Chain A
Amino acid sequence: MRFPFPPILIYALRRLLQAVPVVILIMIGTFLLLKLAPGDTVDALVGDMGGADADFIARLRAEYGLDQPVWVQLWRYMTKLATFDFGWSFVYEQPVSTVLMDRLGTTLLLMATSLSIAFTVGTALGAIAARRAYSATDNLISVLGLVFYATPSFFLSLMMMLLFSVKLGWLPVGGIKTIAGFYTGWDHVIDVAKHLIMPTAALSLIYLSFYLRLMRASVLEVADLDYVRTARAKGAGEMRLMIHHIMRNALLPVVTLLGLQFSTVLGGSVVVETIFTLPGLGQLAYQAVVQRDMNTLMGIIFLCALIVVVVNFLTDLLYARLDSRIELA
């Protein structure tokens, strides 16, 4: 070895270097796209105030630096970003980083729970469906998957709200915690969990059907492969075949999808967070677009880009762990 470092570190370092141009390109691209949209922060602020004279508007623009040509604005923003300074949110009157950090926890919690539920339940159901292919069980599971897949998440959310909150009154309608509850300790955890049940269900059910269908196809394919036959010829029982020979190999394509879907879940959480009024990044992004809060929006996009890059890296690590043929290099 030329390097005294462990190879995994070198690999991580290289991935980090590769990620830099990706993130820069994303930021420049979205900045320019956002500039193409008509209206800016000042228009939105003035609109909220109910109008102002042209002089005031011009002064406000100069103050925010919006009177400069686009490429100057871009350069200023990027140089600030290079020092991890996200700027000031003129809507929230707070540094963008503070606004983001407030919201990040909720979104990550929602995403992590939804994805892990979707992944575990989806792959388990998919494996069961495949092992009993073309039976009544398989049909039931497959039809359910199709129904979840075909139902839009906003519709599912509203229907669940109607049933569990309005009719039955079991679960809270929205928010992340009971506002006047001031719970601490375990009570707080239970309170948050109760608030997250419906959003998580709404978000995970759609993704669950993806995993279910992919896993079912994957298990059916692997079950026909030669080495499964070899294991059978060794005298291995069905349980053993499933755990040691089929599942491990069948999971590979599903893990690829898991990494790819992390970014789409971020998008899906916009709808769900807005419906359930969860104070997360998705809801923040929606409001930032409406209010033309450029700095906040760019901050969210930067954060999402980072999350996707990190998740992809973790997926690759997981993939290499699962598939012995792949060597990280």
Chain B
Amino acid sequence: MTDTPPILQIRDLKIALPKGADRPFALEGLDLTINPGEIVCLVGESGSGKSLCAGAIMRLLPEPHVHVAGGAIRFMGDELLAKTETEMRGIRGEDIAMIFQEPMTALNPQKTVGWQLDEVLRLHTKMNKAERKARAIEMLTRVHIPDPASAYNAYPHQISGGQRQRVMIAQALSLSPKLIIADEPTTALDVTTQLQILKLIRELQEQEGAGVLFITHDFGVVAEIADKVAVLCRGEMVEQGPAKEVLNNPQHAYTRALIGAVPALTPPPVKPVTKAPVVLKGTGLKKTFAARGGLLSGKRKAVTAVKDLTFQLHQGETLGVVGESGSGKTTVSRIVTRLLECDAGKVEMDGKDLLACSPAELRAMRKHIQMVFQDPMASLNPRKRVVDLIAQGPIVHGVDPDKARADARRLLELVELSPAAANRFPHEFSGGQRQRIGIARALALEPKVIVADEPVSALDVSVQAQVLKLLADLRDRLNLSLLFVTHDLRVAAQLCDRIIVMQKGEIVEHGLTAEIFASPQHPYTRNLLSSIPGRDWTPPSFRPDAA
């Protein structure tokens, strides 16, 4: 490798942030080299400046607010920072291509897939229309899209998320670029799709011999794909080296903390919870989103979200509901809390059917079952102070407002927030802190059951680990029962005593987490488990005091 010149060489790169930002430089002194045929992962938590690094290479920073303040970016020996805008336009798309995170929003919704693939070719080559179309269809075939000819004519909203990401990859690779920048390309995808896309990137990169800069926050993905790893912490590179080295023998404290936070795939010890009384029991739950329409409006097909679902939740137990998007797991959480009316079945709580309750009875029952939502940004009313957010529930249920507020302050301590947080507004907190507020809000009514719908999927790994620990801790101290909905099997392995695996609205497998992880019976479960990124890598464990 030493005799071929590196594709990308970044020396001492500095990116300045506008005045009033939390730090003067988004990136400070970044050094990075990418050789041909190498996949280099740039890892860091949100706000570490990793995406801005990609922007700097493409010269697509939101200037003049954010701009390169020093350093050098050499691409094939040429200084990119010295290029004119016109020269850069020739390089973008042809020599350096980019794959973005959100396949939902990264394609123009008004143009067909074919048009968007065609655009790259039209901009950079002199091919005629027929040649361009042939090339576009060839690329779609190479990224393994079923029926490339019809995908060519489809609009982005007509194909699935995974297929859209394939289109993005086809678009990026259609001119055989020498450098591919992939900015969290698989974060928004299901595990099985994620694995396919990672394999695809690997496969195409090997065919083309291109260098890849792969930006991610997920160490599982790093273990899956990286040759080299660079770890960013608040704009500074704290560690760099071959993937094996960094993953198994990290030197810097920050890297250790990050890797330590990755949930290991080892389920918790089996607790004798199945002997505890059943607190929540669902029988024969069914939910179909009805076909709509008739003479005077449009028609829509009926979708069965949940069919014939039965489960039991014991006192003090955590039951995980896992599955991919569209499997109906969120619908389950909404039916159980009766935020969504279901078509058939019973949800019994202490022998009383929640689904048959009158509105008044239901209101009284609500305090026994509370929810923690996925998006901590969107699920707290931005105009209310934290103390009111937490006290609201008890006040509605007839607790004296002063007492409720005093309790709320006590709860903040329980979720490890300072009591001073009580008088502030949600936007003043970070994502992890907001999720703690969400948990405190759920606990305020002293419920028997907490239904948590993807409570940690919007959080950084280190924060995720803390919130999971808090949940496990509270569950044990308050003897809570948790119904935990997640798509992330690593998270499920950490917290859940038992799991049910859902596919297309049905339970395909259920049992003790340890048993399912050790010997999955259903092919779908096996597929899910074998798709976990970095499943062969066990994060080395560090004692917390070492980190």
**In the assembled complex, A227 has its CB within 8 A of some CB on chain B:** yes
> 1/0 contact trace for B259-289 toward A, CB 8 Å?
0000000000000000000000000000000
CB atoms of B299 and A329 under 8 A apart: yes
**Are A323 and B92 interface neighbours, CB within 8 A?**
no
Instruction: Output the least CB separation between B73 and chain A (Å).
Output: 16
Closest Cβ of chain B: how far from A81's Cβ, in Å? 23
Cβ proximity bits B444-466 to A, threshold 8 Å, 1 near / 0 not = 00000000000000000000000
Contacts A237-B89, A325-B157 hold; do A230 and B106 have CB atoms under 8 A apart? yes
Contact between chains at B97 and A249 (CB < 8 Å): no
Cβ–Cβ < 8 Å partners of A14 in chain B: 295-297
Q: Chain A residues near B108 (CB, 8 Å)?
A: 227, 230-231, 244-245, 249
Instruction: Determine the main DSSP class of B at the interface with A.
Output: loop
Q: Which of these, B109, B155, B299, contacts A227 with CB under 8 Å?
A: B109
Chain B 97-135, CB-CB to A under 8 Å as 1, else 0, gives 110101001111111100000011001100000000000
B109–A233 contact, CB under 8 A? no
Closest to B62 in A: A224
- A229 to B98: give the CA distance in the assembly, Å: 10
Q: How many residues of B contact A (CB 8 A)?
A: 34
Q: Does B93 contact A (CB under 8 A)?
A: yes
A66 to B254, CA, bound (A): 89
A residues 292-329 near B (Cβ < 8 Å) are 322-325, 327, 329
Chain B residues contacting A244 (CB-CB under 8 Å) are: 108, 111, 119
Instruction: Output the least CB separation between B364 and chain A (Å).
Output: 42
A233-B58, A235-B89, A325-B155 as given contacts; A226 in contact with B100, CB under 8 Å:
yes
**Which of A227, A230, A235, A248 contacts B124, CB < 8 Å?**
A235
Q: How far is the CB of B56 from chain A (nearest CB, A)?
A: 13
Given A233-B97, A235-B92, do A227 and B296 touch, yes or no (CB 8 Å)?
no
Which of chain A's residues have a CB closer than 8 A to the CB of B94?
A: 235
Whether A322 lies near B102 (C-beta < 8 A) is no
A322 to B108, CA, bound (A): 13
Q: Are B92 and A232 in contact (CB under 8 A)?
A: yes
In the assembled complex, the CB of B100 is this many whole angstroms from the nearest CB of chain A, namely 6
Q: Which of B58, B119, B124 neighbours the largest number of chain A CB atoms within 10 Å of its CB?
A: B119
Q: How far is the CA of A230 from the CA of B115 in the complex (A)?
A: 14
Give the nearest-CB partner of A225 in chain B.
Answer: B105
Is B91 interfacial (CB-CB < 8 Å)?
Answer: yes
Nearest B residue (CB) for A14: B296
List A residues 25-56 near B (Cβ within 8 Å): none
B518 proximal to A (CB < 8 A)? no
- Residues from chain B with a CB closer than 8 A to the CB of A17 are 295-296
What residue of chain A has the Cβ atom nearest to residue B298's Cβ? A329
A234, CB-defined interface residue at 8 Å = yes
Q: Which residues of chain B are within 8 angstroms of A233 by Cβ–Cβ distance?
A: 58, 60, 92-93, 97-98, 100
Q: Which residues of B contact A227 (CB under 8 A)?
A: 105-109
B284-313 contacts to A, CB under 8 A, are 293, 295-299
Docked complex: B505-534 residues within 8 A CB-CB of A: none
Q: Nearest residue in A to B94 (C-beta to C-beta)?
A: A235
User: Are B119 and A236 in contact, with the CB atoms below 8 A?
Assistant: yes
- Which residues in window 201-217 of A have CB below 8 A to B? none
Q: B296 touching A226 by the CB < 8 A rule?
A: no
The secondary structure that dominates the A interface is helix
**Once the chains bind, are B91 and A234 in contact (CB under 8 Å)?**
no
Question: Across the interface, do A226 and B124 meet the contact criterion of CB distance under 8 Å?
Answer: no
Alpha-carbon distance A225/B58, docked complex (angstroms): 17
Note all chain A residues with C-beta closer than 8 A to B60.
Answer: 229, 232-233
CA–CA, A235 to B125, complex, Å?
Answer: 12
- A231 close to B89 (CB less than 8 A): no
Given known A-B contacts A14-B296, A229-B100, A325-B157, A234 and B123 have beta carbons under 8 A apart = yes
On chain B, the residues within 8 Å of A322 by CB distance are 110
Q: Say which size band chain A's interface belongs to.
A: 20 to 34
Contact B107 A234 (CB under 8 A): no
Any chain A CB within 8 A of the CB of B171? yes
Closest-CB distance, B86 to chain A (whole angstroms): 9
A219 to B108 Cα, complex, angstroms: 14
Most chain B CB within a 10 A radius of its CB, from A232, A234, A240:
A234
Interface string of A230-258 (1 = CB under 8 A from B): 11111111001000110011000000000
Nearest chain A CB to B167's CB is how many angstroms away? 11
Structural contact, B295 and A234, CB atoms closer than 8 A: no
Give Cα A237 to B91, complex, Å. Answer: 12
**Does any Cβ of A come within 8 Å of B382's Cβ?**
no
Residue B90 at the chain A interface, CB threshold 8 Å = yes
Give the chain A neighbours of B295 by CB distance below 8 A: 14, 17
B residues near A325, Cβ cutoff 8 Å: 109, 155, 157
Residues of the A chain whose Cβ atoms lie less than 8 Å from the Cβ of B168: 230
Q: Is A18 an interface residue (CB 8 A)?
A: yes
B105-A226 in contact (CB<8A): yes
Tell whether, in the assembled complex, residue A234 and residue B92 are in contact, meaning their CB atoms are under 8 Å apart: yes
| CA A327 to CA B100, docked complex, whole Å | 28
Bound form: Cα–Cα A327–B297 in Å: 12
User: Nearest-CB distance from A69 to chain B (Å)?
Assistant: 34
User: Shortest distance in angstroms between A280's beta carbon and chain B's nearest beta carbon?
Assistant: 35
Q: Which of B89, B109, B119, B293 contacts A324 (CB 8 A)?
A: B109
Residue contact B123 to A235, C-beta cutoff 8 Å: yes
The answer to whether B298 touches A234 (Cβ under 8 A) is no
Interface flags, A264-301, vs B, CB<8A=1, else 0: 00000000000000000000000000000000000000
Can you name the residue of chain B whose Cβ is closest to the Cβ of A237?
B89
- Contact check: which of A232, A235, A249 meets B109 at CB < 8 Å? A249
Per-residue contact bits, chain A 13-29, to B (CB 8 Å; 1 contact, 0 not):
01001100000000000
A324 to B114, CA, bound (A): 14
**Given known contacts A230-B100, A232-B92, A235-B91, is B110 in contact with A324 (CB within 8 Å)?**
yes
| Chain A residue nearest to B174 in the complex (CB) | A234
Are B110 and A249 within 8 A (Cβ)?
yes
| A-contact 0/1 string along B310-325, CB 8 Å cutoff | 0000000000000000
B546 to chain A, nearest CB (A): 40
- Taken together as a complex, chains A and B put the C-alpha atoms of A225 and B110 apart, in Å, by 13
| Residues in B471-529 with C-beta less than 8 Å from chain A | none
Give A325 to B110 CA distance when docked, in angstroms: 7
Name A248's contact: one of B89, B110, B299 (CB within 8 Å): B110
Q: Report the minimal beta-carbon distance from B533 to chain A, rounded to whole angstroms.
A: 23
Structural contact, A234 and B120, CB atoms closer than 8 A: yes
- B-chain residues with CB within 8 Å of residue A231 when the two chains form the complex: 108, 119
Partner of A329, one of B91, B93, B110, B293: B293
Contact B107 A230 (CB under 8 A): yes
A245 to B119: give the CA distance in the assembly, Å.
11
A228 nearest CB neighbor, chain B only? B108
B110 near A235 with CB under 8 A, answer no
- Shortest 8 CB-CB distances between A and B: which pairs? A329-B298, A235-B93, A234-B93, A235-B92, A226-B105, A233-B98, A227-B108, A226-B106
Q: A231-B108, A233-B100 are in contact. List 14 more A-B contacts (CB 8 A).
A: A227-B107, A227-B108, A230-B100, A230-B168, A232-B92, A234-B92, A234-B93, A234-B123, A235-B90, A235-B91, A244-B111, A249-B109, A323-B109, A324-B109
Q: Can you list 8 pairs linking A and B with CB atoms under 8 Å apart? A: A14-B295, A226-B102, A226-B105, A229-B60, A230-B108, A233-B97, A249-B108, A324-B112
